[in-house]
Structure 1
Amino acid sequence: MSKKIYTFDSTLRDGMQGEGIAFSVEDKLKIVRALDALGIDFIEAGNPASNPKDLEFFRRLQSETQRHAKLCAFGSTRRKNILPEEDSNVKSLMEAGTPAVSIFGKCWDLHVLKVINTTPEENLAMIESTLAYMKRNGKYVVFDAEHFFDGYKANPGYAMEALEAAAAGGADVLCLCDTNGGTYPTDIYEITGQVVKGFPDVQVGIHCHNDTGMAVAQTMFAVDAGAAQVQGTFIGYGERCGNANLSTIIPDLELKRGYDVLGEENLKRLTETARRIADISNIWLPSGAPYVGSSAFAHKGGMHIDGVKKIRESFEHVDPQKVGNSRRFLMSEVSGKATLIKKIQKVEPSVTVKDPVVAELVGKLKQLEFEGYQFEAAEQSFELVIRRLLGKHKKYFELEYFKIIGEQPLQEQEYPSSAIIKVQVDGQSRITGAEGDGPVHALDLALRGALKGFYPALETMRLADYKVRVLESSATTAAKVRVLIESTDGKHTWNTVGVSTDIIEASFLALTDSIEYKLTLDESN
């Protein structure tokens, strides 16, 4: 039987320290539900003493039921020279009502003397007494050994004494933290091995930051050295350069090293969960993210495509279905006719390479790419091109007109742009206006606002990303622009493209394709 490795997700605590990350209480509850459904073992829910929003979150959590995960409140050891039960932070951890707590304490004597300004002996007492108090009150206790690796390199004896104090206090897990994110993976391996050897009866965990770009590698080395709990944030964001990325670590451990982490069935939900958390976080999940990115199993070159179709292992290190992702053949002038046939057959399975429509589509593709379209990053727009050419496309609405209004000079207001749009659906016209943070945002809101009465499913849809590229810089203001839009409904994500010399028109073309694809998707499911 393979060794069990426990997962500890800190998206709602360490992840919250990432630049641009902000969660509402409802966002946090959605993330808890997503992680629990996946089978994550521990969810660090934050510091209940930090702000009123977190107090409300912990109050709401008490009425939630987890299928698998243990919720964990985070806080520090007691302050110096008082009892744990007299410390307000310790009290708030108890009142949070979570079955587990994560207590951080100082392991670097430099911090003991210069940051919390106490004696090495009192710091050890702070660690032991706080953990003992938590254990007496029935908590599962993770000791976060803050700056452990820096402390060990500076004074290994004292760093180990801090762990001994935690173990004496009853710690269930000794989690070694590379708080600065600068320890080399082989040093992580060596030091973690010493701790595992020194504490054979206590589970050892690892918590790495990505300041050297090696947090995943550091974590893997620590597990090889005997660590049994891995900490990180689910899609890697966090303070500075981020945290160890659990959506990479989990399949690395399970598929590459044979550890028992989520199990085969839960692992198939990995990609769905990563995209769900990115959507809730209102951030872009990098297309090149290992295992879960949209490009993780994307193939463009004709020889690569031919190779992977014949022997999957030739260009795919794992079966994408094992992590809930899928293979993609990118549409471009170098991808070959076989890729085009596959795209056509997705819409009309009866089409063969000899059908005249194939040559017609090849010509259409070349013409559109000559005009500036790029479909490798907007496959759904190309699917709509195929549907239109095959007569398989339903026209969901007609534009009558739109008008954009911008405030000049810009005023200090939240929504400086407005859009008015009139559309027609089945002979019925509707006119709608909207304010937005810029003309494209306003146009997007107005277009969907006009159509939601006819198509309520558009309520779940939103713009996730927007990119503009000038195609002919030498043409200055007369240059063509390509607009790429990423949209999501929380379950699916799709990309569309528009090209024009007018950035608003290019944006509208991409927006129209995005909405038509969403409606086509819903109708076909």
Structure 2
Amino acid sequence: MSKSISIFDTTLRDGTQGEGISLSADDKLKIARKLDELGVHYIEGGIPGSNGKDIEFFKRVQQLNLNAKITAFGSTRRKGSTAQEDANLKRIIESGAQAATLVGKSWDFHVHTALQTTLEENLAMIADSIAYLKQQQMELIFDAEHFFDGYKNNPEYAVSVLRAAKDAGADWLTLCDTNGGTLPHEVYEIVSKLMIELDGASIGIHTHNDCELAVANTLSAVQAGARQVQGTMNGYGERCGNANLCSIIPNLQLKLDYTCIAEEQLAQLTNTARYVSEIANVHMPINQPYVGNAAFAHKGGIHVSAILRDSRTYEHIEPERVGNKQRILVSELAGQSNILSKAKEMNLELNPENEETKQIIGKIKDLEHQGYQFEGADASLELLLREANGERSELFVFESFKMLVEKNAGAAVVSEAFVKLRIGGQSIYTAAEGNGPVNALDNALRKALVEHYPSLREMHLSDYKVRVLDETEATASKVRVLIESQSLQDRWSTVGVSANVIEASWEALVDSIRYALLGQQLPAHHGATASGTQGIVNH
């Protein structure tokens, strides 16, 4: 039996039915190109003619010359009509897609309740539609909607639906767990029986995640004989989502020894998942298996000590195989191993026997106790470690800042920041407005520095988060601010903590600037060096 699995991606169709996900035609084309690079075999682009975006997608995707088969989605002909006069089927043909996915009812309850027609007419609708599209030389995937519910309720009719599709020429018979309520052992048993009953049929599987079992159900179907899997990147989809290809592909390939995509393409999985997340503008869960930022992150000191000896002690695969990487987290739970590993990542040599190294471990734990969190603020952590290694040199010295926030009746709030600092022997005083206090501070600080450090023009604040640390103190609570910044080449995060949100923001903001300037020198024309200057922020 072949161990090769066909990967059918429906991110651009079923995935867009997820709450909060909306993709433009340009977005769809970008994702299609990325999926093609990953090596998926089918890319379901949408429903031709249903909306302007999908019409544009099918028109423009032909110009990309992708290796994957572009697939158009639609339903069977309407009851009481013919396939030749069905507008939906005509649009599929006109789309120029190489393959078509037709969905048809396989649960008798749906035939009577949703379609309000007879069981015989439903079989005719399926057979006529498939035969018509096959006459147009299209590859045909038949999605048997609600198949598992239908099989459990009326197995004879559910199988007759598949036979009708197969006899009409369908290339793939896809079993859909549309409501997501089937269990893995049920999937395995049912697919195993069908492999015998429908000898020679190519079976696919399409599952939903309503019971958190979409991936498990997909794996069960494959082990029972299915050879095509349908799913979406990051599990996007209606309700609780579709089966997550980011878990299915490595599970099949690395755990069960099936062939899905090439090894070098598998190494692009994490990058692809995060790319799709960015385009869809949907936050990617940090703990998502295989591709999440925390999938291979280690925090406990005992764990870190062990993986530094051999990563297999706490990692089930080498992260690089799916394009991810091992991360060592530093927190109040950290031991010496965590600190030394992080320093090594940053090309810093810390002596474990050195008193400064022991002090920095103690300092980090004390800061975490105060509310700082360095797991998501690697840039602030690196600055601390460089200071412990004697590398800290300040390119500017903060003296003061003032804020003015004014609100007049009927007018917008105006925020203005005044920043005073020194570069070398020169005192600089700037003022700038912003759409809020933090934006005003950012603008004023940047305005003071950009003449001396032009590279700051390339960086900008990309995310800003505030977390209340003790809600019992109400508006007097201490807060933690996380700022994410990025330049043309890099992205980094910094942290600040204070009972004053402006001060916490300032700490994170200054750390962000300091990190951006790592490796730069004090401007020579000032005739001064950074040595001996006082640090800007003392945590």
Same fold (TM over 0.5): yes
Partner residue in 2 for 1:359: 358
How far apart are 1:170 and its partner, in Å?
1.2
Partner residue in 1 for 2:31: 31
Q: Distance in 2 between matches of 1:314 and 1:54?
A: 48
TM-score, structure 1 as length reference: 0.87
Of stretches 347-356 and 319-328 in structure 1, the one that deviates more from structure 2 is: 347-356
Partner residue in 2 for 1:481: 479
TM-score, structure 2 as length reference: 0.85
Larger Rg: 2
Instruction: Write the mapping of 1:275-424 to structure 2, written as runs, cut at 5 A.
Output: 275-389=274-388, 390-391=390-391, 395=395
Partner residue in 1 for 2:7: 7
Contact 1:419 1:443 in 2 (8 A): no
Contact 1:276 1:491 in 2 (8 A): no
Q: Distance in 2 between matches of 1:168 and 1:522?
A: 71
Partner residue in 1 for 2:269: 270
Aligned: 1:135 with 2:139:
no
Partner residue in 2 for 1:41: 41
Contact 2:416 2:437 in 1 (8 A): no
Partner residue in 1 for 2:222: 223
Q: Distance in 1 between matches of 2:91 and 2:441?
A: 46
The sequence identity of aligned pairs, in percent, is 47
- 1:130-182 CA distance string (max 9 Å, x none): 11111111211111111111111111111111111111221111110000000
How far apart are 1:84 and its partner, in Å?
1.9
How far apart are 1:419 and its partner, in Å?
5.2
Partner residue in 2 for 1:61: 61
How far apart are 1:487 and its partner, in Å?
5.7
Partner residue in 2 for 1:82: 81
Contact 1:166 1:174 in 2 (8 A): yes
Question: AA paired with 2:314?
Answer: F
How far apart are 1:184 and its partner, in Å?
1.0
Of stretches 492-501 and 251-260 in structure 1, the one that deviates more from structure 2 is: 492-501
Match of 1:201, SS state, is coil
Match of 1:230, SS state, is strand
Instruction: Write the mapping of 1:435-474 to structure 2, written as runs, cut at 5 A.
Output: 435=435, 454-455=455-456, 457-458=458-459, 462-463=462-463, 466-474=464-472
Instruction: Write the mapping of 1:52-201 to structure 2, written as runs, cut at 5 A.
Output: 52-66=52-66, 68-201=67-200
- 1:371-413 CA distance string (max 9 Å, x none): 32111232332112223453356759989868575878899xx
Of stretches 163-172 and 387-396 in structure 1, the one that deviates more from structure 2 is: 387-396
Of stretches 355-364 and 179-188 in structure 1, the one that deviates more from structure 2 is: 355-364
Task: Give the direction of change, closer, same or farther, for the CA distance of 1:467–1:314 in structure 2 (3 Å limit).
Answer: same
Provide the aligned length of Structure 1 versus Structure 2: 513
Q: Distance in 2 between matches of 1:93 and 1:449?
A: 56
Task: Give the direction of change, closer, same or farther, for the CA distance of 1:472–1:94 in structure 2 (3 Å limit).
Answer: same
CA RMSD of aligned residues (A): 3.3
Q: Distance in 1 between matches of 2:139 and 2:422?
A: 59
Match of 1:62, SS state, is helix
How far apart are 1:19 and its partner, in Å?
1.0
Q: Distance in 2 between matches of 1:290 and 1:223?
A: 20
Q: Distance in 2 between matches of 1:397 and 1:320?
A: 41
Question: AA paired with 2:321?
Answer: K
How far apart are 1:508 and its partner, in Å?
4.3
Contact 1:78 1:84 in 2 (8 A): yes
Question: AA paired with 1:72?
Answer: T
How far apart are 1:495 and its partner, in Å?
3.7
Partner residue in 2 for 1:505: 503
Task: Give the direction of change, closer, same or farther, for the CA distance of 1:453–1:149 in structure 2 (3 Å limit).
Answer: farther
Task: Give the direction of change, closer, same or farther, for the CA distance of 1:102–1:490 in structure 2 (3 Å limit).
Answer: farther
Partner residue in 1 for 2:211: 212
Contact 1:404 1:417 in 2 (8 A): no
Q: Distance in 2 between matches of 1:161 and 1:522?
A: 72
Of stretches 476-485 and 503-512 in structure 1, the one that deviates more from structure 2 is: 503-512
Q: Distance in 2 between matches of 1:444 and 1:181?
A: 48
Task: Give the direction of change, closer, same or farther, for the CA distance of 1:15–1:418 in structure 2 (3 Å limit).
Answer: farther
Question: AA paired with 1:277?
Answer: V
- 1:249-278 CA distance string (max 9 Å, x none): 111101110000112211111111111111
Q: Which runs of 5 or more structure 1 residues have no equivalent in the other structure?
A: none
How far apart are 1:16 and its partner, in Å?
0.7
Contact 2:484 2:492 in 1 (8 A): yes
How far apart are 1:432 and its partner, in Å?
6.1
Contact 2:417 2:437 in 1 (8 A): no
Of stretches 443-452 and 196-205 in structure 1, the one that deviates more from structure 2 is: 443-452
Q: Distance in 2 between matches of 1:397 and 1:119?
A: 81
How far apart are 1:481 and its partner, in Å?
0.5
- 1:349-373 CA distance string (max 9 Å, x none): 4432234431342343234224321
Task: Give the direction of change, closer, same or farther, for the CA distance of 1:181–1:505 in structure 2 (3 Å limit).
Answer: same
Q: Distance in 2 between matches of 1:274 and 1:379?
A: 22
Match of 2:101, SS state, is strand
